Amino acid sequence: SFYILYKLTDFGAARELEEDQQFVSLYGTEEYLHPDMYEKAVLRKPAGKTFNATVDLWSFGVTLYHVATGNLPFRPYGGRRNKETMHFITTKKASGVIAGTQTSENGPIDWCRDLPINCQLTAGLKKHVTPLLAGLLEVDSQRIWSFDRFFTEVTNILNRKLMHVYNVNKIQSLRIYLHPEDTYDEFQLQILEQTDVPVENQILLLKDSHFYGIIKKSTPGRMYPQTEETKPIFLLSNDLNSNVAFIPEREIPKFPEFPSHVSVENDASIAKTACSVGHVCKQRIEKYSKCSQLTHDCVQMFNVVVSNELTSVLNKNNSLRTSVNESTETIVECVVRGQRSVQNLTGSKSSSHVDWKRHLESLKKKLVDDLTLSIQQLHTKHVSEQALSEEWSNLVRDKECLTKTRAAARSRTYIERLRESWQHLLRDRATRPLTFNDQQFHVLEKIKITEVGRTLRSLLESEVIPSITQLADCLADWYKMAQTVYVKARILDKDVDLFQGRLDSFVKEVLEVDINFHKGVGLRGKVPGAGRVRGQELRAFLASIRNIKNDQQEIAGILSENLELLAQFNQLTEPLRGLGQDY
**Looking at the predicted structure, is the pLDDT value of residue 121 above 80?**
yes
Q: Is residue 209 classed as helix, strand or coil in its secondary structure?
A: strand
Domain 35-155 class?
Answer: mainly alpha
The tens digit of pLDDT for each residue in 142-176 reads 888 988 999 999 999 999 999 999 999 999 999 99
Strands 74-75 and 99-102: parallel
DSSP 503-568: HHHHHHHHHHHHHHHHHHHHHT-SPTTGGG--HHHHHHHHHHHHHHHHHHHHHHHHHHHHHHHHHH
Reported as a pLDDT band with limits 50, 70 and 90, residue 13 is low
Residue 531 — very low, low, confident or very high, per pLDDT cuts 50/70/90? very low
Going by C-alpha positions, the residue among 578, 577, 580, 568 that lies closest to residue 315 is 568
The confidence band for 583, taking pLDDT boundaries of 50, 70 and 90, is very low
Rounded CA gap, 574 and 570, in Å? 6
> Is 144:58 a contact under the CB 8 Å cutoff?
yes
**Cβ(300)–Cβ(208) under 8 Å?**
no
Cα separation values, 225 from 211, 232, 480, Å: 10, 10, 30
Residue ranges per structural domain of the chain: 35-155, 160-237, 264-497
111 pairs with which residues across the strands? 100
Residue 530 has what pLDDT? 46
Structural fold of domain 264-497: Substrate Binding Domain Of Dnak; Chain:A; Domain 2 (1.20.1270)
What digits encode the pLDDT tens for the residues 546-564? 666 666 666 666 667 766 7
Which residues are registered as beta bridge partners of 174? 165
Per-residue pLDDT of 202-240, as tens digits, reads 999 999 999 999 999 999 999 999 999 999 999 999 888
Per-residue pLDDT reduced to its tens digit, 445-476: 999 999 999 999 999 999 999 999 999 999 99
- 532-538-540 Cα angle (round to 5): 140
- Report residue 248: phi and psi, to 5°: -60, 150
DSSP letter at 256?
P
CATH architecture of structural domain 160-237:
Roll (3.10)
Is the Cβ–Cβ distance between 398 and 474 less than 8 Å? Answer: no
Mean pLDDT of all residues in the chain? 84
